[in-house]
Amino acid sequence: MFAEIITIGDELLIGQVVDTNSAWIGHELNCIGIEVLRITSVRDRKEEIVEAIDSAMERANIVLMTGGLGPTKDDITKQVLCDYFQTELIFNDTVLANIKRILGDRVPINGLNQSQAMVPKDCEVINNRVGTASVSWFERHGKVLVSMPGVPQEMKVVMSEEILPRLQKYSTNDYIVHKTFLVKNYPESVLAETLEPWETALPECIKLAYLPKLGIIRLRLTARGENENILLDTLEKESLKLKEILKLNIMADSDLSLEQLIGIKLKDKGLTVATAESCTGGNIAARITSIPGCSSYFKGSVVAYSNEIKTRVLGVNEGVLNSKGAVSEETVIEMVKGAMSCMNTDCAIATSGIAGPDGGTKDKPVGTVWIAVAYKDEIRTMKQSINRGREMNIERAGNNAFMLLLDIL
Amino acid sequence: MFAEIITIGDELLIGQVVDTNSAWIGHELNCIGIEVLRITSVRDRKEEIVEAIDSAMERANIVLMTGGLGPTKDDITKQVLCDYFQTELIFNDTVLANIKRILGDRVPINGLNQSQAMVPKDCEVINNRVGTASVSWFERHGKVLVSMPGVPQEMKVVMSEEILPRLQKYSTNDYIVHKTFLVKNYPESVLAETLEPWETALPECIKLAYLPKLGIIRLRLTARGENENILLDTLEKESLKLKEILKLNIMADSDLSLEQLIGIKLKDKGLTVATAESCTGGNIAARITSIPGCSSYFKGSVVAYSNEIKTRVLGVNEGVLNSKGAVSEETVIEMVKGAMSCMNTDCAIATSGIAGPDGGTKDKPVGTVWIAVAYKDEIRTMKQSINRGREMNIERAGNNAFMLLLDIL
């Protein structure tokens, strides 16, 4: 059973907006055994949308579309679908009632809102409980096409509550099972060489993929076949062999983020953490707090972007700061100690570096980041010295800090 | 002159990785007047890649591909291109030298690295100075196909330094000019109704699009035509009319993020800022520090996730905290004052709320966030009470905080 995704909107093509809908939908479909063949993004033009629908309906049994359902003139998806399926727009009471409920007293209902209550005839109209754009479900010759709003949070609610449960009955007998390992300490080519004998001997039903990102490689095993138990067994056996080869370089045997791993470890041990961040500017704290329930182990953070805050709030020794500089092992050690004592935690993370694009010197070029982690009386440090641009330098520093903390715990 | 983008990799289709390359490429091409017709993401399968190339080459003059160039077995793009263009892989000295330089002493050269030095014959091989995967530039019958690495930071360097300069000569006589306005205080439908008379009267060469996101609407005007001066003139005239209609609800007349706007304003006025964050957990600080050069106005942040940090570091009055609760106007006022005095800044932002998914009560449901901003002696507050899930609640709180600060300045 194959699906395709079509995302609609000029903003995607001119790069004003990144299409995050497709990855989310792909992941969810995969979980219920439906494989996505292709993702297509097209502009808000009738003929281009029609061409995309046409070829997707030819290849796949299920076509999921997002976008182009807003109340404004640039949004044309509903009318295009009517033309494509040779039907027309009709007024729908339930949809209007929903629009009124969503807009509440804040917004007066106007003609444009009314137009959102016009929906294609000859399709099932599905309510969108968190937005004003309704969902259209078309079934023709055993194939399904669903048009959903492009706003990610609306699409997610509609997919989870309405579309995925309905699609489950279309799922084939083929099971798809993924298992992902987080691997550290390996460049991609060295890892691939190390794994080659094992990879070559993998059974037919298992496929291996390498996903390297800023110092970590995610290894994904995908098993596909008719018998779920056999798949799980085979995957388990191969996983054991893989663990035997990579040993402690495997940080996790599921597709978790480093911040999720940190959270699990700290919760298990009943420990608390704080961060003291200079160049990462709150990014590490933000990653920790992206995990629901982090309040049981995360107490807080001091983002000491200026030296004044380093001394004033974290109590970094001014002499050290002046003699060694803000980007130094000595300063980052002072910072991690300061974080622990000022926020009274069991462990802490500290960073200080030059994220770029400016501010580098010959001794400390852009990309230099000193990282320290502390757990009770133990402190470990590392120096990061790769420059891949501000954003990546900051993200990599977070990755390294999390890996260092996992090591020390 | 039209382009298409093809991104390759199973990870995109199963949703393990979000395709950010396409948006970036789309944006860059647009800037040099090349319009992107379609983005296609396909799996690492020969026939699917070939089909995507075939139909893209039919519609567009330029096809840019990313992905599938790694050293591991799952990466097949180079071989597929050889088959497609009826050529073969040959060894390239320069590419090998580059691979050795990139890997340095850290990584021994193995067979897999060597295989990356095999490149298609009958194409121009372009060096990738920041990675091991080389770039292939094919020209056939006046059309261009370029295959680039999928790692975003490598693709960006290659595109900026090598591909875009070469593509500029393919750019048509048609100019494309965008102008984006950031609008606040309007629901989408009300804005569209307000603008309808003006929108209907827009000249043929201008297209309008609405991009709403968490309390802000980006209005994009796109002008297209042969004479750049006429386009710019027309755009300017329509922009003036738009400003006349929306007045102070326009926060900016260029496509800036709120954190960029804040940065410009603070720099202009020579002011400094700090944040005190509870539920936003460092996100606002991270957004401020995502802007290069922010050190001239951003001093730091206290992420006071636990109440202990609120009193201990920010000096929030314990009586207020106990009687009014952490999520209250009174507490967030204490926090914003604490941030200003503890970090010695001219202005500050503070947040405290329930990001979810848990922790809500009847009086303070999930999504409730109190926000305060301070500028010298003035303090303004607002209560946010929409629940769109943890991530969006946090992002919206940041947006509201930035807008409130822009207001007060």
The residues spanned by each domain of chain A are: 2-170, 175-252, 258-408
Q: Which residues of B366-394 are buried (b: 16+ CB within 10 A; e: fewer)?
A: bbbbbbbbbbeeebebbebeebbbbebbb
- Is A161 within 8 Å of chain B by CB? no
Rounded CA separation A162/A156 (Å): 10
Q: What is the pLDDT of residue A172?
A: 67
Cross-chain CB nearest to B303 (options A25, A285, A290): A285
Residue from B112, B289, B314, B386 to probe the interface with A (highest A Cβ count within 10 Å): B289
Tell me how far apart the alpha carbons of residues A208 and A242 are, in angstroms, rounded to a whole number: 12
HSE-up of B152 (CA within 13 Å, CB side)? 14
Flag whether pLDDT at B318 surpasses 70. yes
Of the listed ranges A30-44, B19-33, B169-183, the least confidently predicted one is B169-183
CB–CB of A107 and B17 under 8 A? no
Topology of domain A258-408 in CATH is: Maf protein (3.90.950)
The verdict on A202 touching B (C-beta cutoff 8 Å) is no
CA-to-CA distance for B306 and A289, rounded, in angstroms?
A: 12
- Per-residue pLDDT averaged across B296-323, rounded? 96
Cα gap B218→A171, rounded to integer Å: 39
pLDDT bracket for residue B172 (50, 70, 90): low
Residue B132 contacts residue B113 (beta carbons within 8 Å): yes
Taking CA–CA distances from A41, the nearest residue in chain B reads B39
Segment A383-404 shows an average pLDDT of: 92
A285, B282: Cβ pair inside 8 Å?
Answer: yes
A332 to chain B, closest Cα gap in Å:
16
Give the closest-approach CA distance of A144 to chain B in angstroms: 19
Nearest Cα of chain B lies from the Cα of A18 at a distance, in angstroms, of 5
Q: Compute the distance between CA of residue B359 and CA of residue B381 in angstroms, rounded to an integer.
A: 22
Residue A387 pLDDT grade (very low, low, confident, very high; cuts 50, 70, 90): confident
Inter-residue contact B279 to B351 (CB < 8 Å): yes
| pLDDT tens column, A78-90 | 999 999 999 999 9
Contacts of A388 in chain B (CB under 8 A): 130, 153
A225 forms beta bridges with A175
B45 Cβ under 8 Å from any chain A Cβ:
no
Does domain B175-252 fall into CATH 3.30.70.2860? yes
Instruction: Write down the residue that tokens 């998914």 correspond to.
Output: B357
When computed from its CA atoms, the radius of gyration of chain B, rounded to whole angstroms, is 26
Dihedral sign (CA B3, B4, B8, B12): positive
Q: Rounded to an integer, what distance in angstroms lies between the CA atom of residue B388 and that of residue B211? A: 18
Chain A environment of B358 (Cβ under 8 Å): 292-293
For residue B72, which of A150, A158, A41, A189 has the smallest C-alpha distance?
Answer: A189
Question: What per-residue confidence (pLDDT) applies to B73?
Answer: 83
Backbone angles phi, psi at B206, to 5 degrees: -115, 135
Are A149 and A66 a contacting pair, CB within 8 Å?
Answer: yes
Higher pLDDT pick, A219 / B392: A219
Query: CB under 8 Å to A19, separation ≥6 — which residues?
Result: A7, A12, A39, A41, B18, B19, B22, B23, B39
Q: Is A150 helix (H, G, I), strand (E, B) or coil?
A: coil
> Which residues on chain A are in Cβ contact (under 8 Å) with B391?
290
Cβ neighbours for A82, distance < 8 A, ≥ 6 positions apart? A88, A89, A120, A121
Residue B268 has pLDDT above 90, yes or no: yes
- pLDDT of res. B388: 77
Q: Which amino acid is at B76?
A: I
3-state secondary structure of B211: strand
Tell me the pLDDT tens digit for each residue of B207-256: 888 888 888 999 999 898 889 899 999 999 999 999 999 999 999 999 89
Q: Cα torsion for A181, A255, A220, A230, to the nearest 10°?
A: 90
Nearest CA in chain B to A257: B16
Residue carrying structure tokens 């494509």: A84
Q: Are strands A368-375 and A298-304 parallel, antiparallel or unpaired?
A: unpaired
| CATH H-level, domain A2-170: superfamily | MoaB/Mog-like domain (3.40.980.10)
Provide mean pLDDT across the span A55-59: 96
Tokens of B348: 């500050």
For B26, the 3-state DSSP assignment is helix
Give the contacts of A131 (CB within 8 A, at least 6 positions apart). Answer: A102, A149, A151, A154
By C-alpha distance, which of B286, B310, B327, B280 is closest to A343?
B310
Size of interface A-B (CB pairs under 8 A): 351
Q: Identify the DSSP state of B162.
A: I
Residue among A36, A38, A46 nearest A8 (CA):
A46
**pTM for the complete prediction?**
0.85
pLDDT given at position A73:
83
Contacts of A212 in chain B (CB under 8 A): 70, 151
- Answer yes or no: are the C-beta atoms of B297 and B273 closer than 8 Å: yes
CB within 8 Å: B283 and A282:
yes
Is the CB of A187 less than 8 angstroms away from the CB of B39? no
The answer, for B102 touching chain A at a CB cutoff of 8 Å, is no
Q: Rounded to a whole number, what is the distance in Å from the CA of A388 to chain B's nearest CA?
A: 7
| Residue A72, pLDDT score | 86
CB contact under 8 A, A37 and B306: no
Give CA torsion, residues B371, B375, B376, B380, to 10 deg. Answer: -40
The DSSP H or E segment spanning B57 is helix B46-59
Phi, psi of B333, rounded to the nearest 5 degrees: -70, -45
Asked whether A378 and A388 are in contact (CB, 8 A), the reply is no
CB under 8 Å to A56, separation ≥6 — which residues?
Answer: A4, A6, A38, A40, A63
Question: What is the reported pLDDT for B259?
Answer: 97
Whether chain A has a CB inside 8 Å of the CB on B259: the answer is: no
**Partner residues linked to A147 by β-bridges:** A65, A136
DSSP class of B379: E
Q: Which of A286-295, B13-22, B166-175, B387-396 has the lowest mean pLDDT?
A: B166-175
Residue B124 has which token pair?
């121009």
Q: Using a CB-CB distance cutoff of 8 angstroms, which residues of chain B are in contact with residue A189?
A: 71-72, 103, 107, 110, 112-113, 116, 132
Q: Residue B217 CB: number of other CB atoms within 10 A?
A: 21
Q: Which of B152, B94, B156 is nearest to B124 (CA)?
A: B94
CA quadruple A164, A169, A172, A177: dihedral sign: positive
Is A110 part of the contact surface with chain B (CB cutoff 8 Å)?
A: yes
Partner-chain contact B302 A295, CB within 8 Å: no
Q: Which of B36, B189, B284, B290 to mutate to test the interface with A (most CBs of A within 10 A)?
A: B189
Q: Which of residues 305-324 of B touch A (CB under 8 A)?
A: 305-306, 308-309, 312-313
For residue A181, pLDDT over 90 is answered with yes
Using CB atoms and an 8 Å cut-off, which of residues 16-35 of chain B contact chain A? 16-20, 22-28, 30, 35
Kindly report, residue by residue over A91-115, the tens digit of the pLDDT: 999 999 999 988 887 778 888 888 9
Q: Which residues of B touch A43 (CB under 8 A)?
A: 37-38
% of chain A surpassing 90 pLDDT: 82
Structure tokens at A121: 């005839």
The shortest C-alpha distance from B32 to chain A (Å) reads 11
End-to-end CA distance of chain B: 45
Band (B387; pLDDT cuts 50, 70, 90): confident
